[in-house]
Every structure is written in structure tokens, then in C-alpha cells.
């Protein structure tokens, strides 16, 4: 057992912490005897109260000086950065990613708030000449209203940050429902936002089953919805939001290709694949879970990567020696092993890993696994596993590699490892993905630039950076007789 205390969480509604009659336990995935938090279980009443609070707070918040919003976000960002060690440790204990990854994500969240503190002061418009003499035209951006934010567990402070910060920066109010497996770090973010002086009702956080998210999406007073999660749930979110003409933004995962060409630097290629496929336990929507390798380098690459994968130290995320933590939950662990079995049944060859991993502490451990000799149409190459499982596909040349990379329903991130400027530039132009990496892991993006994909990976306006203003504001065009 651990001596780290269990925290009791509450709903955050209208500037108050609201207790609930029932609760569930959030467990440490690297030691399931450790209860991280007791989590309130809300329902329709909490959704109604939170949306009502956000709606009531909207007029004053949207009409406040942008400096007020900027100051709040800057203070939130500073506070997160000052507490990076404490927050990062909580994140790693609750989600399972290593401590450096947990601290790194926390820093990212702080930087996001500080970035949008600046953007709050840059909500700009245009003055334009009319085609009619004596008429002046202005365009300017206004806040939309109440935003419902539904966030996942794999980046449990960064993704709430990159949805909340722009919403607040541009004058909107928020009701956020974080994912079930990681409530404590989400609540810690809510505590900081309140502590830094957010007016009552501007920011609300509710906990409970998935049905609460559905109620939030369907609510008549929610003007926009931003969702990150699976394609199946995303489709229902889009349908419910569009049915009542609310704006909607979806991020729905990836099956991201990493192309390794014959002319690649082998050490660089292995490093890129190892990072993109296995860090954060492979639980990243941008992970390079299918690796497409041309035949001239294929055998050497697979051998070298397998050695690195086999050497990965799996263990307690808070142990400095650990390179990979557990899956976030038993369900995620079993998903990884189920896809390993499916790949083997379809003819894939497990080069390393694939076995059940038992460590000293009871946890959701997964052995990092590399599967070779797969075909592009196997399920392992078409469906998102969301675990430390990578597959390789052997191809003849660059043209075949590009064709295989462009197969499938996903199009979030794609990478190529090559020393050829010709192939690098061609890949950037022709690969069907929203983000392209050249000689870099497919996972790993900056917070000040747009994030999003093509095909069924994303829907609606881009997230993050300067693109966020498109989703979180609406343009008004005003004409006047001079």
C-alpha cells in the first residue's frame, strides 16, 4: 500500500465545490491498491446547474476588458508552472506516464494558458472600404457563448488546457467534463483556476458517467462543443450538436504511419520509431503505430528497433529508471493484448514482447511489443490500438510506402525518415494527414500552432495556437454611413 493520501473530489459549479452523495474510486494504474481519488458521480441535475451557471456568467465575462481575461490566464499559467513538480507527480501517479512525461505535460499546460493570455489581447478585426461611397465596414470577433468541453484521459491536463484557455481568452464560459480515469489532475486544474480568481460560473467542471457528456452536448444552452475521443463517440457528439445547430469540433484519433526509406539514417529512424510508438505507453493519438519500411533497410531496421524495444524499462512511473509506465486501465491493457492476438492470428510475427507482464506491484502492465510481417489490410494496421504495440509493413519503394501511408480512415499525423530532400518535400505535400513530421516522431507537437487531422481523425476547426480563434469566436460585419 502507498502512504500518499486519497483526495475526495467535488463538482465545480458556479464558483462552488459541490459534494455528491455517490462516488467512485480512481486507482493508480501502477499500483491498483493505491486509491488516488474518490470521485463524485453526477447526473442530469449537475449538467443543468453547471450550464445554468455558465450561461449566467457569460454576459459579464464576454463584455469584460480583455486585460481581465489575459491577467487571469497568465496567473493560471504561472501557478501551473510553479507547481509543475507536484502536479506532474499527481498526473503520473494517476495516468501512468513517467514522471518526466508528467512534468513535461504540466509545463505544456502552463505554457498554453500563458500563450492564450496574450491572444486575449489580440482578438482583432478589420476596417474595409465599401463598394458604396460613404459607407464604412468593420469586422470584429465576438464570443460565442457557453462551451461544453469533453476531454480524454491520455493528456489529462494539457488537453483541458488547450480547450479551456482559448474559450476563456475570447470571452466564452465553460463546462468541462474530464475523462473518468484521470479526475484528480483535472480537479487540480480546476482548483487553480478558481484560486486565481475566475468569476463564479465562468469555469465549471463536472464528474460522472458518459451519459453526462451526452446531456452536455444535447443541452439547448450549450453553444459549442469541443470533443477529443474515439470515432464512434465523436460521431454521436457531432450528430447531437449539429441537430440543434451548435458548433462542434472533434478530434478522434489516428493510425499514424511512419515511413522509413532505404536512405534513412538507421539510428535516427530507430530513435524516431521508439519515441513515436512506445513513449507514453503508446497512448497518444499521434503515436506511430504502423511503421512502413522499404525493403533495402527493412531487416536491419526491424532488428535494431526490436533490440531497443526489448530493452525498455517498464515500471513505476515515479521511478527515475522507468522508461514506460502502465496502461491507464485494465480495459486499455486488455485492448493491447487483444490486438496482439488478432495480429498473430492474421499472420503477424511477434519480434519482441507480446507476453503478459507481471511486476512487483499489481498494475495494468503491458509488455512493449513489435510485430513484423504484417500486411497493410490487417486489423493491426487499420484500427487504433492505443497501447505500446507497433507493427511493420515491408514495401518495395517510396511510391508504395506513400500509397500504404495514405490507406485507411485516419489522417492525423504522418512521418517520414529520409536523407532525401526530394522525398521529404514530396511526402509533405502528398501524404493525407493534418500534421507531417520529417525525421521526427509522429507524436510531439507545439502548443502555438494548429493541431488537427484529415479524413475521420478530425472534424471542424483546428485546435490550438492561432487557429483556435476560428472556433471560439464568431465574426460580426458592421456597416455604417460615414
Catalytic residues: 251, 285
Residue 132: C-alpha distances to residues 128, 136, 137, 395, 479 (Å): 11, 9, 10, 61, 11
Those residues with Cβ within 8 angstroms of residue 52's Cβ, 6 or more apart along the chain or in another chain: 14, 221
The CB-side HSE value for 388 (13 A sphere, CA atoms) comes to: 33
Q: What are phi and psi of 331, to 5 degrees?
A: -65, -40
Q: Which residues of 305-335 are buried (b: 16+ CB within 10 A; e: fewer)?
A: bbebbeebebbbbbeeebbbbbbbbeebbeb
Task: Tell me the residue ranges of DSSP E strands in 322-412.
Answer: 349-352, 369-372, 389-395
Those residues with Cβ within 8 angstroms of residue 47's Cβ, 6 or more apart along the chain or in another chain: 175, 206, 212, 215, 216, 219
CB 342 within 8 A of CB 379: yes
Quick one: cell of 91?
498526473
Q: How many Cβ atoms from other residues are within 10 Å of residue 147's Cβ?
A: 29
d(CA 80, CA 82): 5
Q: Which residues of 360-373 are buried (b: 16+ CB within 10 A; e: fewer)?
A: eeebbbbbbbbbbb
Q: Which residue has the cell 521526427?
A: 440
**What value, to the nearest 5°, has the Cα angle with vertex 298 and ends 292 and 302?**
90
In three-state secondary structure terms, 479 is strand
Query: Comparing C-alpha atoms, which of 139, 141, 172 is closest to residue 64?
Result: 172
Q: With the C-alpha atoms ordered 383, 388, 393, 398, is the resulting torsion angle positive or negative?
A: positive
Those residues with Cβ within 8 angstroms of residue 77's Cβ, 6 or more apart along the chain or in another chain: 110, 111, 112, 113, 114, 117
Q: How many Cβ atoms from other residues are within 10 Å of residue 392's Cβ?
A: 26
Amino acid at each position: 500500500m502507498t502512504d500518499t493520501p486519497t483526495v475526495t473530489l467535488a463538482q465545480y459549479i458556479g464558483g462552488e465545490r459541490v459534494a455528491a452523495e455517490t462516488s467512485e474510486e480512481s486507482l493508480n494504474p501502477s499500483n491498483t491498491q493505491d486509491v488516488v481519488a474518490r470521485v463524485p458521480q453526477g447526473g442530469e441535475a449537475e449538467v443543468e446547474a453547471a450550464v445554468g451557471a455558465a450561461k449566467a456568467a457569460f454576459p459579464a465575462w464576454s463584455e469584460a476588458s480583455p486585460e481581465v481575461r489575459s491577467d487571469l490566464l497568465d496567473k493560471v499559467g504561472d501557478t501551473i508552472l510553479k507547481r509543475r513538480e507536484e502536479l506532474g507527480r499527481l498526473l503520473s501517479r494517476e495516468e501512468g506516464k513517467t514522471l518526466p512525461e508528467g512534468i513535461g505535460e504540466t509545463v505544456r499546460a502552463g505554457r498554453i494558458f500563458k500563450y492564450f493570455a496574450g491572444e486575449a489581447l489580440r482578438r482583432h478585426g478589420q476596417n474595409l472600404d465599401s463598394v458604396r461611397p460613404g459607407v464604412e465596414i468593420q469586422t470584429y470577433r465576438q464570443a460565442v457563448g457557453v462551451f461544453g468541453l469533453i476531454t480524454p484521459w491520455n493528456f489529462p491536463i494539457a488537453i483541458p488546457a488547450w480547450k479551456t484557455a482559448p474559450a476563456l481568452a475570447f470571452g466564452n464560459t465553460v463546462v468541462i467534463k474530464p475523462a473518468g480515469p484521470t479526475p484528480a489532475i483535472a480537479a487540480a486544474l480546476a482548483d487553480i483556476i478558481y484560486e486565481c480568481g475566475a468569476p463564479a460560473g465562468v469555469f465549471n467542471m463536472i464528474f460522472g458517467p458518459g451519459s453526462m457528456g451526452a446531456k452536455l452536448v444535447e443541452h439547448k444552452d450549450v453553444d459549442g462543443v469541443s470533443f477529443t475521443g474515439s470515432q464512434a463517440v465523436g460521431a454521436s457528439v457531432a450528430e447531437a450538436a449539429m441537430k440543434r445547430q451548435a458548433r462542434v469540433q472533434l478530434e478522434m484519433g489516428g493510425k499514424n504511419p511512419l515511413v522509413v526509406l532505404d536512405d534513412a539514417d538507421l539510428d535516427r529512424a530507430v530513435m524516431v520509431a521508439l519515441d513515436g510508438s512506445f513513449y507514453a505507453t503508446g497512448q497518444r493519438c499521434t503515436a506511430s503505430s504502423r511503421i512502413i519500411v522499404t525493403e533495402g533497410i527493412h531487416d536491419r531496421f526491424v532488428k535494431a528497433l526490436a533490440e531497443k524495444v526489448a530493452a525498455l524499462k517498464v515500471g513505476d512511473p515515479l521511478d527515475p529508471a522507468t522508461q514506460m509506465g502502465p496502461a491507464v486501465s485494465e480495459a486499455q491493457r486488455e485492448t493491447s493484448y487483444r490486438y496482439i492476438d488478432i495480429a498473430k492470428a492474421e499472420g503477424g510475427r511477434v519480434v519482441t514482447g507480446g507476453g503478459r507482464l507481471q511486476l512487483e506491484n499489481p498494475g495494468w502492465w503491458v509488455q512493449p511489443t513489435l510485430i513484423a510481417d504484417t500486411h497493410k489490410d490487417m486489423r493491426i494496421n487499420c484500427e487504433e490500438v492505443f497501447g505500446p504495440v507497433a507493427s511493420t509493413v515491408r514495401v518495395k519503394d517510396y511510391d508504395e510506402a506513400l500509397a500504404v501511408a495514405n490507406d485507411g480512415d485516419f489522417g492525423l499525423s504522418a512521418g517520414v525518415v529520409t536523407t532525401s530532400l526530394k522525398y521529404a518535400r514530396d511526402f509533405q505535400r502528398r501524404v493525407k494527414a493534418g500534421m507531417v513530421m520529417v525525421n521526427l516522431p509522429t507524436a510531439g507537437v507545439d502548443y502555438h500552432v494548429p493541431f488537427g487531422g484529415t479524413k475521420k481523425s478530425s472534424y471542424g476547426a483546428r485546435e490550438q495556437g492561432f487557429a483556435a480563434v476560428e472556433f471560439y469566436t464568431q465574426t460580426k460585419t458592421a456597416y455604417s454611413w460615414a
